[in-house]
A and B are shown apart, each in its own frame.
Chain A
Amino acid sequence: MKGLRLLFFGGVFCYLYLPIVILVGNAFNLNRYGLHWEGFTGKWFVAMWNNPGLMEAARHSLVIAFAAASLATAIGALAAIAFIRYRFPGRRLLQGTMMTLMMAPDIILAIAFLVLFVALGIALGFWSLLLAHITFCLPFAVVTIAARLEGFDPHLLDAARDLGASESRLLWRVVLPLLRPALVSSWLLSFTLSLDDVIVSSFVTGPAYDVLPLKIFSMVKVGVKPEVNALATIMVGLSLILVILSQLFHKEKNTP
Chain B
Amino acid sequence: MGEDSLLNIDGLGKAYGNNLVLDDFSLSVGHGEFVTLLGPSGCGKTTLLRLVAGLETPDRGRITLDGADLTPLPPEKRQVNTVFQSYALFPHMTVFENVAFGLRLKGVAGDELGRRVATVLCDVRMDGFAQRYPHQLSGGQQQRVAVARAVVNRPRVLLLDEPLSALDARLRREMQGELKRLQRDLDMTFILVTHDQEEALSMSDRVVVMEGGRIAQIGTPREVYEEPSSLYVARFIGDINLFPGTVRDRLDEKHLRLDIFGQTVVAETRRPFAPGQAINLLLRPEDLRLGEGPAKVAPCFAGSIVERSYRGSTLDTTILLDDGPVLKACEFFDEDDPDFDYRVGERVQVSWVKGWEVVLSDGE
| A153 contacts B86, C-beta separation under 8 Å | yes
| A164 contacts B153, C-beta separation under 8 Å | yes
| B91 contacts A256, C-beta separation under 8 Å | yes
Question: In the complex where A163-B101, A163-B149, A169-B105 touch, is A158 in contact with B88 (Cβ < 8 A)?
Answer: yes
Question: In the complex where A164-B153, A255-B135 touch, is A159 in contact with B91 (Cβ < 8 A)?
Answer: no
Contact of B92 among A161, A164, A165, A177 (CB under 8 A): A177
Residues 96-113 of B, flagged 1 when their CB comes within 8 A of A and 0 if not, give: 000001100110000000
Residue of B nearest to A152 (CB): B91
Contact of B81 among A156, A163, A173, A180 (CB under 8 A): A163
| B88 contacts A164, C-beta separation under 8 Å | no
How many chain B residues touch A (Cβ–Cβ < 8 Å)?
27
| A155 contacts B88, C-beta separation under 8 Å | yes
Tell me if B133 is interfacial: C-beta within 8 Å of chain A: yes
Contact of B88 among A153, A165, A177, A180 (CB under 8 A): A153
Tell me if B301 is interfacial: C-beta within 8 Å of chain A: no
| A155 contacts B84, C-beta separation under 8 Å | yes
Contacts of B105 in A (CB 8 A): 163-165, 169
C-alpha spacing A159/B99, complex, angstroms: 12
| A160 contacts B101, C-beta separation under 8 Å | yes
Contacts of A162 in B (CB 8 A): 53-55, 75-76, 80-82, 150
Contacts of A218 in B (CB 8 A): none
Shortest distance between the CB of B1 and any CB in chain A (Å): 27
Residue of B nearest to A169 (CB): B105
Shortest distance between the CB of B52 and any CB in chain A (Å): 11
| B102 contacts A164, C-beta separation under 8 Å | yes
C-alpha spacing A80/B333, complex, angstroms: 64
C-alpha spacing A158/B84, complex, angstroms: 9
Residue of A nearest to B82 (CB): A162
Could you tell me which residues of chain B, from 38 to 88, have a CB within 8 Å of some CB in chain A? 50, 53-55, 74-76, 80-82, 84-86, 88
| A256 contacts B84, C-beta separation under 8 Å | no
B residues with a Cβ closer than 8 A to A are 50, 53-55, 74-76, 80-82, 84-86, 88-92, 101-102, 105-106, 133, 135, 149-150, 153
A residues with a Cβ closer than 8 A to B are 153, 155-156, 158-166, 169, 173-174, 177-178, 180, 255-256
Q: What 10 additional pairs, Cβ within 8 angstroms, besides A159-B82, A161-B76, A163-B153? A: A158-B88, A159-B90, A159-B149, A161-B55, A164-B106, A165-B76, A173-B101, A174-B90, A255-B92, A256-B135
CB<8 Å pairs between A and B, sample of 27: A153-B86, A155-B84, A155-B86, A158-B75, A158-B88, A159-B82, A159-B88, A159-B90, A161-B55, A161-B74, A161-B75, A161-B76, A162-B54, A162-B80, A162-B82, A163-B150, A163-B153, A164-B105, A165-B76, A165-B101, A165-B105, A169-B105, A177-B92, A178-B92, A180-B92, A255-B92, A256-B91
Q: Which 10 A-B pairs have the closest CB atoms?
A: A163-B102, A155-B88, A159-B88, A164-B105, A161-B75, A155-B84, A164-B76, A162-B82, A177-B92, A156-B88
